Amino acid sequence: MKTSVIAIVMAATLSTALHAAETPPESPQQRDARIAWWKDAKFGLFIHWGLYSQLAGEWQGGYYAGIGEWIMYKARIPLADYESVAKQFNRVRSLWCA
**Ranges of each domain in the chain:** 51-95
3: DSSP letter: H
pLDDT digits (tens, 9 = 90+) for 1-30: 566 656 666 666 666 655 555 667 889 999
Could you give the C-alpha distances from 41 to 28, 37, 38, 58, in angstroms and in order? 20, 6, 5, 38
Q: What is the DSSP letter of 90?
A: -
Give the C-alpha distances (Å, rounded to integers) separating 12 from 27, 79, 86, 97.
24, 35, 28, 16
Q: What is the pLDDT of residues 41-67, one digit of tens each?
A: 887 777 767 778 778 888 999 898 878
